[in-house]
Amino acid sequence: MILIADSGSTKCSWAICVNGQIIDRCSTIGFNPYFISSKQVAINLQKSDLDDIRDQISKVYFYGAGCSSSKMNKIIETPFCDFFKNAEINIHHDLDAACYSMYDGEPAITGILGTGSNSCLFDGTTIYESAPSLGFMLGDEASGNYFGKKLLNLYFNNILSKDLKKKYENNYETDIANINSNVYNNSRANVYLAKFFPFVSENKNHEQMQELIKTSLDEFFRLHICCFPNHKEVKINFIGSVAFFLQEEIKAVALSYNCKIGEIVKNPIDKLIEYHFKK
């Protein structure tokens, strides 16, 4: 059995494969080494459905957010080696998964808009990064946690319109002390902040949310798409839940930059597996 996993910060999708075919799926929390320890990885693996089949796994291919250096990868690799004792462990960056899953034979840019954000260019051989991901405190433009921060800023500074404020107070946290505790005393603060994105998405036809979405996506394009010299010549694909729910808005901003949008996919795991077994 071979395991292939695509992990963001919030969720990790696992596919159990035999002879190139998916025979089962499961999910765990996201394993981003910037926000989780090796011990926490081990605990979550033991609680998952993978515990029943771990001795049958011969290879693991894990593509994860934050897995961009040998130091970070070790945080994931160590508990994986202990858990999947009979398996060869391969840890890769989620940018690799993004590029591989969206590649259709032509060079393309892929943007990731999920809990966090990032971008890369893949020509079929080499993956190119231009503007680095600075994480949820300094970057992650147009990501779930980015929209969460912007929404909270509008609400607590009394800038949110009255009708939106009422909707917000019916379903979301209004105690600033609880907000601060979840942001500053939480190892997964980026995931917590991203939980506020649904409010933005559900109210995206409201003028104030339209402006927030437009300016955020514009910033993402300006920093993470236009950094590639050929961004007007190649297709731009997107993956992630934020991209999926803001498809029309992304297309509108892309048009203003004379960019061509390719595919927008919420979860690339099936396309990743298809590419993986072709190679």
Tell me if 80 is assigned to some domain: yes
Tell me if 13 is assigned to some domain: yes
Shortest CA distance to 124 belongs to which of 261, 43, 234? 234
pLDDT for 58:
93
Measure the CA–CA gap between 131 and 219, rounded to whole angstroms: 12
pLDDT for 172:
93
Tell me if 28 is assigned to some domain: yes
pLDDT digits (tens, 9 = 90+) for 248-272: 999 999 999 999 999 999 888 888 8
Residues 6+ apart with CB under 8 A from 168: 151, 155, 160, 174, 199
Residue numbers of the domain that contains 42: 2-97+270-278
Give me the residues of the chain with pLDDT under 50, please.
none
Tell me if 203 is assigned to some domain: no
Tell me if 175 is assigned to some domain: no
What value does the CA radius of gyration of the chain take, rounded to a whole number of Å?
19
Assigned token pair, 253: 């901003």
Tell me if 254 is assigned to some domain: no
pLDDT for 99:
86
152: number of CA atoms within 13 Å, CB side? 23
Residue 26: CATH number of its domain: 3.30.420.40
| Mean pLDDT for all residues in the chain | 91
pLDDT for 136:
66
User: What is the pairing mode between strands 127-128 and 117-122?
Assistant: antiparallel
Q: What is the per-residue DSSP string for 52-100?
A: GTGGG--EEEEEETT--SHHHHHHHHHHHHHHSTTSEEEEEEHHHHHHH
pLDDT for 137:
74
Burial of 113 (0-12, 13-18, 19+ CB in 10 A): buried
Tell me if 233 is assigned to some domain: no
Look at the chain and report how many structural domains it folds into. Answer: 1
Is residue 118 within 8 Å of residue 133, measured between CB atoms? Answer: yes
pLDDT digits (tens, 9 = 90+) for 78-129: 999 999 999 999 999 888 888 888 888 899 999 999 988 999 999 988 888 8
Tell me if 72 is assigned to some domain: yes
Q: What is the pTM of this model?
A: 0.82
The SS3 assignment for 250 reads helix
